[in-house]
Structure 1
Amino acid sequence: MSERRALLIQPWIYDIAAYDLWIQPMGLLYLATLLEEMGFQVKYLNCLDPTHESSEGKLKRMDDGRGKFYREEVEKPVILKSIPRKYCRYGLPEDVIISELEQVGKIDVVFITSMMTYWYPGVMRVVELCRKYKPGCPIVLGGVYATLMPEHAKETVNPDLLVEGLVEGQIVLLLEQIYPGTCFKSELSNAYYPAWKLIKNLSYLPILTSRGCPYRCSYCASSYFYSGFLQRDYRNVVEELFYFYDALHFNNIVFYDDALLVNAGNHLLRILHEVKEKKVKFSFHSPNGLNARYINDEVAEAMFEAKFETIRISLETASDHKHELYGKKVTQKEFESAMKSLFKAGYKEGEIGVYLLGGIPGQTNEEIGESIKFVHDNGGNAKLSLYSPIPGTRDFGRLPGRVRGQLLKEPLLQNNSIFSHYFGYLNWQEYEELKAIIEEHKKKG
């Protein structure tokens, strides 16, 4: 029997803004490893690929792997006509993707991942192209959008099969549905790695040292994908780092964990110690917000010594009362203590990014302004993100029924850049004024 061929696709982003903050489809690449172990030849198509030859010299990219995507303005959906921003497709031009689909040859099954719910137009267009250029080929959809809004995905995108949650535990049954009468099995242990070899010109290594999160913040859907919290053996993490270091020769490590600092003494600090012993110079990045509660002098010193260059702390708000509502993750005092430890370790004021949330229903602009001041008074660099309502979370359930209904009917309105403006919680002018306040604080130092 000839080798089966699977095509794995990362779709485009359709949005009014998008930036490549180390975006990689880790789940899709874990799946690639599983499929290869089951005898499939795996092909990978990244619609976002900023390193594709068609984008050479056109995009501003940083040495650590961050940068802009190629983009083309597209027609704005009717429901977004009132939004005073351009609507774009981020990623490679469509004719490039069509050419790639034509050149990839015979394919037996297509697996497509999905990210934000409001990016579904990119998923929909990829499926349309697969139907046209790979007719009769079964299409399997998974990822965030497929998990959070499966009914919408089935009706709108219309895949042949849809996977909710993590695919690892479902892959055997899934393949046996696609290939009736065929028995599949996986001999892989829990220690297998993503197929990073499929990524061309990878200048950094994304790594996941844990699954899930011990917290249940009211605005977060992490538990939908993994209800518990499990940290990998630190030795296995180090093995993965150096396995790919030897193969790919990168210098930047990007942590994808939701709760990297939990049990730091027996986990992250041991990882950093092992790296230090091997005398390899890495730069570490933590774009997912860290919990200030776990940053003490020992942790801060280890991070500084290991060269953590990108540190983002999740604060959301300076209001302890609001933190009681959101999940009791951190207090003002814990944040202040964490910042003192980071500065004591050697970081400078303004180097620590602090995520704040704006546009939350019931939140006042005064509260946001006070949070910005609190962050800068403690030497942080406020990063104001707009709130995005996620279906299934407690915060989503607190929204007025009329609003929930509109969001479920049209996920485009869940976009963090659109939701607050569209429903009147924080309009664009107010948002720009708050960003100007942040800039004023930066100038004051």
Structure 2
Amino acid sequence: MKKILLVEPQKSKKYHTPYPPLGLLKLSTYHKEKGANVRFVRGFSGDGFEPDSIYITSLFTYAYEPVHDVIRYYSNRFKKAKIVVGGIYATLCPDHLEEAFGDRVEIHQGLFGPAEELLPDYSLVPEWKSSILFTSRGCIRRCLFCSVPQIEPEFKAKPSIRHLIYPRHKKVILWDNNILASFYWRDIFDELEELGLEVDFNQGLDARLLNEEVAIRLKRSNLPL
């Protein structure tokens, strides 16, 4: 049985997010379905778990130092383990990461396709009570200030998201970059309305795509006020 260690860098003023690491939670489901023994840690762990592979996530480019800290720690502690680094920083600044660690780390850029449609393993974060998901990836816009075209270059939309909602959760947090650009947005809104869950359009809505129909559907949605 393979042993997989999933690492979120230590949260601090330099590395802060109120949300769980969605990519790692999906990787957990992926590897567990293959029969692996999966462990998730935040920051530095000193227990006796000896992983075969270590997956480290990263946030924005300015928050790279805590990522480097955990890479150094785990590469020294587990010299034979494969270390894979993914996430936003790894995708946007692979040269910076490679310059720091050479071939000691494997850099994964962009999404991990095989895990995209899997339900995140929320058992790793039992304190978390909302389902985070994307009904679409990418964006139809190409704003010069935005990194989405580099991280998710192709716009893809899902016709359904029921399989991505954890049964015990009462709230859905949507991380779409542009949900209203989805061909299936009406179907998604129908599902959310049928499920009766609170909905957080966390990344906002494209004002250029707002119209009376959208406004009516939003009014019918269970939005937090």
Asked if these proteins are the same fold (TM beyond 0.5), I'd say yes
DSSP 3-state at the match of 1:164: coil
Q: Is the 8 Å Cα contact of residues 31 and 168 (structure 1) preserved in structure 2?
A: no
The 1:17/1:156 distance shift into structure 2, 3 A limit, reads: closer
What is the Cα deviation at residue 14 of structure 1?
A: 5.2
Pairing of 1:27-426 with structure 2 (within 5 A): 27-47=23-43, 97=44, 101-103=45-47, 105-158=49-102, 159-168=104-113, 191-234=117-160, 237-241=161-165, 244-245=166-167, 249-263=168-182, 267-277=184-194, 280-309=195-224
2:157 corresponds to which letter in structure 1? Q
Q: Is the 8 Å Cα contact of residues 14 and 121 (structure 1) preserved in structure 2?
A: no
What is the Cα deviation at residue 147 of structure 1?
A: 1.4
DSSP 3-state at the match of 1:270: helix
Matched residues, number = 224
The structure having more radius of gyration, on CA atoms, is 1
**Distance in 2 between the 1:289 and 1:194 partners?**
23
1:240 corresponds to which letter in structure 2? L
**Distance in 1 between the 2:77 and 2:14 partners?**
28
Please list the CA deviations of residues 12-65 of structure 1 after superposition, one character each: whole Å capped at 9, or x if unmatched.
355469452xx2322222222222233322111134xxxxxxxxxxxxxxxxxx
**Distance in 2 between the 1:24 and 1:157 partners?**
26
DSSP 3-state at the match of 2:73: helix
Q: State the superposition RMSD in angstroms.
A: 2.4
What is the Cα deviation at residue 233 of structure 1?
A: 1.3
TM-score for both structures, normalised by structure 1: 0.46
Higher relative contact order (CA 8 A, sep 6+): 2
Structure 1 or 2: more helix by fraction? 1
2:181 corresponds to which letter in structure 1? V
Q: Is the 8 Å Cα contact of residues 33 and 194 (structure 1) preserved in structure 2?
A: yes
What is the Cα deviation at residue 288 of structure 1?
A: 1.0
TM-score for both structures, normalised by structure 2: 0.87
2:197 corresponds to which letter in structure 1? F
Please list the CA deviations of residues 160-179 of structure 1 after superposition, one character each: whole Å capped at 9, or x if unmatched.
3212222336xxxxxxxxxx
**Structure 1: 5+ residue stretches without partners:** 48-96, 170-187, 310-350, 352-445
1:200 corresponds to which letter in structure 2? P
**Distance in 2 between the 1:107 and 1:19 partners?**
26
What is the Cα deviation at residue 142 of structure 1?
A: 1.3
Q: Is the 8 Å Cα contact of residues 13 and 119 (structure 1) preserved in structure 2?
A: no
Q: Is the 8 Å Cα contact of residues 29 and 194 (structure 1) preserved in structure 2?
A: yes
Over the matched positions of the two proteins, sequence identity in percent amounts to: 26
What is the Cα deviation at residue 104 of structure 1?
A: 5.3
DSSP 3-state at the match of 1:205: strand
**Distance in 2 between the 1:269 and 1:104 partners?**
49
Q: Is the 8 Å Cα contact of residues 14 and 66 (structure 2) preserved in structure 1?
A: no
What is the Cα deviation at residue 152 of structure 1?
A: 0.9
